[in-house]
Amino acid sequence: MRTAIDLRLARHGAILLLLAMLTGFAIGNFLNRNAGNAAHLTGLLGGYGLIALGLLWPRLNLGRVGSAVAAWITAASLYLNWFGLVCKGLGDNPAAPSSQVLGSPLTWDRVGSVTLGLAVLLSLLSVIMVLIGLRKLLQPADARNPEVLTTAH
């Protein structure tokens, strides 16, 4: 049976895929096309990763609250990775003329750096929480079910 959390993760994965594809169409408009390409590819990988985690999520042993917290941290970290790279692509070249709509390229570069720093911290926390959930899952079958030990004799 599917839970609401795994479906939300898959839904956020699809949204991130859509954002990544739209970013791919706009790569030519970035001041730093390499950062735009990185945002595009990071969004694609993050979207597929969220969909895959949505399939794995019901098997993790994190508890109800831990599972919800870890799911939101995971989704937020991947969105922030994509958004930080988009910001870096909009502002990596301080010598470029600033646009009235987009603001100063230096401001976008700094926003991107802060966003990517936060994304890295959330990603590390997400990986740790998923590994904790998997560690409990990977215990030997006999250790998880003590009745097997008593009835085997």
- HSE of 97, CA atoms in CB hemisphere, 13 A: 2
The closest of 74, 89, 82, 113 to 17, measured between CA atoms, is 82
- HSE of 41, CA atoms in CB hemisphere, 13 A: 7
Q: What is the pLDDT along the chain (153 residues), one digit of tens a residue?
A: 456 888 889 999 999 999 999 999 988 888 888 888 999 999 999 999 999 999 988 888 888 898 899 999 999 999 999 999 998 888 866 555 555 456 777 888 888 889 999 999 999 999 999 998 888 656 665 555 556 555 555
Whether the CB-CB separation of 9 and 74 falls below 8 Å is answered with yes
Task: Give the helix ranges, DSSP H, for the chain.
Answer: 4-25, 33-56, 64-91, 105-137, 141-144, 146-151
